[in-house]
Amino acid sequence: MSNWGGYTHRVRYNEVDPQSIVFNSRYLEFFDAANIEFFREYGYPLDVMAAAGLEPVVVEANIRYHSSVRLDQLLHIDVGCSRLGNTSFDLSFEVRIQDPQTGSLSENVATSATISYVNLDQVTRKSTPIPQAFRDFLGSAK
């Protein structure tokens, strides 16, 4: 059983624009860190994924900015699998601002995204089926 409760990130100075708002491209970095921690929590750190024949690569990213996120705010990022194909899958991300004193999350989503991944064969670099154990995990990660 996992204790996964989402990924938390405090916005740093180098991640904001001159208006102290998170620069749009930084969200892809936040989502990458969140999915790595998500996989790790469920027993799939990067080395285990590689050994299992998993090498998911990003093929598409769709991000919606609902409201501004600012310097020094604490972000909470939830991750779930929204689509599971034979060789590909989509992860959904929701970013909410977290109160640093209480830990409570804003009811409003600040940013959301869907990122599509294709599993590649590490030798041929062509798409290859997702191993069944990982499929089972993704199927339960809604």
Measure Cα distances from 110 to 10, 20, 38, 86 in Å.
14, 15, 20, 31
Taking the C-alpha atoms of residue 131 and residue 86, their distance in angstroms, rounded to an integer, is 9
Q: What is the pTM of this model?
A: 0.92
Q: Which domains does the chain have, with CATH numbers?
A: 7-140 (3.10.129.10)
β-sheet bridge partners, residue 8: 76
* pLDDT digit string, tens, across residues 29-41: 999 999 999 999 8
* pLDDT digit string, tens, across residues 88-98: 999 999 999 99
Q: Label residue 96 exposed, middle or buried (CB < 10 Å: 0-12, 13-18, 19+).
A: buried
